Amino acid sequence: MIKITFPDGAVREYPTGSSALDIAKSISDGLARKVLAAEVDGKVWDATRPIAMDASLKLLTWNDVAGKSTFWHSSAHLLAEAVEALYPGAKFWVGPPVENGFYYDIDLGGRSIVEEDLRRLEVKMSDLARQNEVYVRKEISKGDAVKYFSDKGDEYKLDLLQNLQDGEITFYTQGRFTDLCRGPHIPNTGFIKAIKLTNIAGAYWKGDDRNKQLTRIYGVSFPSQKDLDEYLRLLEEAKKRDHRKLGKELGIFTMDDDVGPGLALWLPNGTIIIEELEKLAKETELAAGYKRVVTPHIAKESLYLTSGHLPYYQDSMYPPMELEGQKYYLKAMNCPHHHKIFAAEPKSYKDLPLRLAEYGTCYRYEQSGELFGLMRVRCLHMNDAHIYCSKEQFYDEFKAVNEMYIKYFKIFGIEKFVMRLSLHEPSKLGKKYVNEPELWKETENLVRDVLVRTSTPFVEVPDEAAFYGPKIDVQIWSTIGKEFTLATNQVDFAQGRRFNLQFVSKENNPETPLIIHRAPLGTHERFIGFLLEHYAGNFPVWISPVQVKVLPISDKYIDYAQTILGSLKKADIRAEIDDRNEKIGKKIRDTEIAKIPFMLIVGEKELAEQKASLRRHGKGDLGQINLEDFVIQLTREIQARATD
């Protein structure tokens, strides 16, 4: 007998060699039908794998992340089985679960597949699933494994085997398909009741663009059709929040073929949002001791040779234009210009920290396949600033920048983000990173220290630093799941030297400042793209392009509506009037769809009492109000930059 400890601390005895599934059955058949895998002594196992000694046990179902992953991983095997059945000779790389489903990377030997193939594969997968094929685990020697895949002619699996040793190699077989896999898997394919293959994509082998491109098939699967339907519904919901769709519907921005890819045109409504954001940034930065500067959009080649950007980032810059025998580049970053401002006059320690801020317009030649609505563009307006400080001042300055992020995020109610501490990779010194091993260590420790001492949760990511120093990126996700850096806070110990920037210390010695590059609001493009999705287009009133719409019941009340409009405008409230020849129901509907926060409806009654009927977007009729009170209240809400 073995002693099994359950998550609630209960200990029960079972015959040696019982599986998690056996144990579940002993509790209830209903539970056994839901068990996908098990956590045995903290490791995820097949539910069917015999347990030979005392262990702690947690049964994993669809409601556990690990249970879901196992389910999707097994679905990937099922996909591979279907692919092998329909397209003999296919070779397989890897088929992992992902956040929302699974994929399998496959070499189809020159064959390309289309949407119809996905439907055929779905049918085949469902057929195979219905056969309740058992996932059989088998430990196998490296020699036998190599022989199996050599005979099969699958060089990808052979490549995987190279890094595995005897004793850690397992095969999983379901039906006619056998895969090299460490598992675990669900008990049998019958658990997979609903399957949707979502898309086909090319994916470089091992993620290296010098390698062959494999066919990646993405899919998602569920234990019931109802779950799939719900998932598809949520996908539809997410699409409604997509900033590209909302941006068009709300008149925020547009793109035009003649202007060029990745070059957003800001429409009047979008421009209002930009101006509100800039107002916020300018107020905040003024209070934090920043000074504003303005710099040109272009500079000579020599500037970027000095900064070091040309050797590192030329591929991401627009090609140069030639004037008077000189090469000029569109600026991809503002820092070199700001460094020149620092250098324009001699500096003493008394001038530090010097904080230079600019909403700088940058142009980056992003790869065509990378462009994505407003989130990834080729012309961007950065909430940029550079802080020049001494080593002693660094901690406070860097910390203040981090606090500024948090302050902004509170204003916008941004809660789902991850702080990412990006570090250098020592083997790439002199290539991807400036060759200053000591400075790298020192500044990375300084930055980590700020995060640790301010108890900011963060993740460390190697090989993601800027070429000039480590950084903290704030990562967010678009509604369709793409990850982006929203804000960034970077240390730069390299450019100060490259530009020979100096200040005179208290001891009358020349010293090189440390530089902090920071962009708490990222760029207008990405930030507004993110805000559109974050609020689903329902902007808080302070950034709403139109804050109040005045709706006369009929044209008899247009004059009174105009009077109200006048008072609103006098109070600097962005208001419009809907004087179309439409019924009030239609006007309300159109205003609701336009996501305008407030409506003032005026007719016979309102005119008689010199009032207005208030309606709030999404909340409906709020009854009659006194206009002066409304203006006071609304102004207060706008000034507070209230979220709702």
Rounded CA separation 513/444 (Å): 16
In the complex, the smallest distance separating the C-beta of residue 485 from RNA, rounded to whole angstroms, is 7
Task: Tell me if 477 sits within 8 A of 416, measured CB to CB.
Answer: yes
Q: What H or E segment, with its residue span, contains residue 239? A: helix 225-241
> Judged by CB, which is closer to RNA: 257, or 324?
257
> Judged by CB, which is closer to RNA: 73, or 376?
376
In the complex, the smallest distance separating the C-beta of residue 515 from RNA, rounded to whole angstroms, is 12
From residue 551, alpha-carbon distances to 437, 585, 617 in Å are 66, 10, 14
In the complex, the smallest distance separating the C-beta of residue 248 from RNA, rounded to whole angstroms, is 6
Cα 298 to its chain centre, rounded Å, is: 30
> Judged by CB, which is closer to RNA: 35, or 255?
255
Strand order in the sheet with 177-180: 136-139, 170-174, 177-180
Q: Report strand pairing: 55-60 vs 97-98.
A: unpaired
Burial class (CB in 10 A: 0-12, 13-18, 19+), 471: buried
> Judged by CB, which is closer to RNA: 137, or 615?
615
In the complex, the smallest distance separating the C-beta of residue 24 from RNA, rounded to whole angstroms, is 35
In the complex, the smallest distance separating the C-beta of residue 559 from RNA, rounded to whole angstroms, is 12
In the complex, the smallest distance separating the C-beta of residue 327 from RNA, rounded to whole angstroms, is 16
> Judged by CB, which is closer to RNA: 41, or 483?
483
In the complex, the smallest distance separating the C-beta of residue 410 from RNA, rounded to whole angstroms, is 24
Rounded CA separation 24/45 (Å): 14
Rounded CA separation 328/352 (Å): 31
Rounded CA separation 180/158 (Å): 9
Task: Tell me if 564 sits within 8 A of 548, measured CB to CB.
Answer: no
Helix extents (H) in 28-113: 29-34, 65-86
> Judged by CB, which is closer to RNA: 31, or 305?
305
> Judged by CB, which is closer to RNA: 403, or 582?
582
- Type of residue numbered 544: S
> Judged by CB, which is closer to RNA: 226, or 586?
586
Structure-token pair, residue 187:
């008990």
Structure-token pair, residue 482:
């793409």
In the complex, the smallest distance separating the C-beta of residue 594 from RNA, rounded to whole angstroms, is 10
> Judged by CB, which is closer to RNA: 279, or 482?
482
202 contact partners, CB below 8 Å, separation of at least 6? 213, 214, 215, 216
